[in-house]
A = this chain, B = another copy of it.
Amino acid sequence: MKNNAIVGQSGGPTSVINSSLAGVFESAINRGVDEVYGMINGIQGLLDRKYINMSDYIVEEIDIELLKRTPASFLGSCRYKLPNIDENETVFSKIFEILDELDIGYFFYIGGNDSMDTTMKLSAYGEKIGSPIRFIGVPKTIDNDLAITDHTPGYGSAAKFIASVTKEIILDGRAYDLKNATIVEVMGRNAGWLTGAAALSIGSDCEGPDLIFLPEYSINIDEFIEKSIKILERKPLVVVVSEGLKIEDGRYVSELASDISITDAFGHKMLTGTARYLAETLMRRMKCKARSIELSTIQRCASHMVSRVDITEAYQVGGAAVKAALEGETAKVIILKRESSDPYICTAGIVDVGEIANIEKKVPLNWINSTKDFVTSDFIRYASPLVQSELTPFMVSGLPQHISLNSRGYRPDAK
């Protein structure tokens, strides 16, 4: 049996994806795997033979702790989608050729939906050609939209940051004794998990936002204005909206602002602008001060404010993936199974990758209130345990310290 492992990261960065990487690396070494390679920029980089030996860069014990506390993808990420096997077998045979060169017995892929698709296709091809390599997916995405798993690593920390800054933004909006509105835009194109997390700001010291609009329902702009007017009669308004919010005819709110019909280099419509459009509409119709705040990529990379629960689980699913692979599993994904919410107890489980890949999990509609402008207490009970406790950054010269391949001497052209 070939006894090396390779691990890759794929999809959007999170604050804790490197904690899963640390979990894979440390577990693999501790369990007797010989070498642990890291794909540079995921499967796409691997196709160009871009990889490192993790042990060259993660040397001391403190490196593991720094890795856990470093946001975004230590190894670099990609958004590469593998073709279907019958469409282009060459890609697959090339990947397996490289894996064989490296004596890979275990393949770990940390990512969201697309990454699970990659894991599924690679294991299917492996089975087809009789390869002994074991393929395990490790879930991560701030969007929390993976099926079957109770939640995804990455979600809790993003939710914690969103809820924390929502509290701060609410106080900021109250500073002036004026009619003023703040519209906060949160990530999550189709699923409102992150947007709903703003409701976690509710507590004895904070009344929470006034309205929360998830992408699970469309918004009626006139109704939004009416609700806003009523609230603004008595207090500053704070609204939290998903970047993927649509109006009834199916268009994105962000499409309504003329200037942002720009598509990016890949032809994707840029969704940013939802909060801006709503704020400008409010300002025009109400003559009140209205500000939009996009949490933008900060919400996925604010590792200075991670959930201890989340970062620990991210580490654990990495370890669980290694354990599963070494015990003979393949074509599987590690999931999180909630045993109890109060007290919060969660364990790792494992399912066939086909059960998860390419399925998007939205917020249950009965966790959104009847007026479609807030989440219910069920949502809060679900999300609250995921933001608990902290893992303090290592502060050096007043700033969070990280570890990166660049700072450790990696040069892309060296390999």
Contacts and interface: CB of A to CB of B under 8 A. Distances in A.
B399 A387 contact: yes
A398 interface: yes
Interface string A281-318: 00110011101111111101111110100000000000
Interface string A392-409: 100111111111101100
Given A77-B175, A176-B77, A296-B293, A205 B407 contact: yes
Given A164-B304, A206-B407, A169 B298 contact: yes
Contact of A298 (B72, B258, B293): B293
Interface in A372-415: 384, 387-390, 392, 395-404, 406-407
Interface stretch (A21-29, A101-109, A215-223, A259-267): A259-267
A69 to B, nearest CB: 11
Interface in A156-173: 160, 163-165, 167-169, 171-172
Given A171-B72, A175-B73, A398 B206 contact: no
Contacts of A297: 169, 172, 182, 291, 293
Interface stretch (A113-121, A196-204, A325-333, A353-361): A196-204
Contact of A174 (B72, B280, B307): B72
Contacts of A280: 259, 262
A44 interface: yes
Contact of A175 (B76, B171, B400): B76
A399 B197 CA distance: 12
Given A293-B294, A301-B171, A388 B384 contact: no
Given A265-B289, A395-B390, A72 B400 contact: no
Given A265-B287, A388-B398, A398-B160, A172 B13 contact: yes
Contacts of A264: 283, 289
Q: Give the number of copies in the complex.
A: 2
Given A301-B168, A384-B397, A404 B289 contact: no
Contacts of A407: 204-206
A300 B169 CA distance: 9
Contacts of A395: 389-390
B298 A283 contact: no
A207 interface: yes
Contacts of A201: 399
Interface of A: 12-13, 40-41, 44-45, 70-73, 76-79, 160, 163-165, 167-169, 171-172, 174-177, 182, 200-201, 203-207, 257-259, 262, 264-266, 272, 280, 283-284, 287-289, 291-298, 300-305, 307, 384, 387-390, 392, 395-404, 406-407
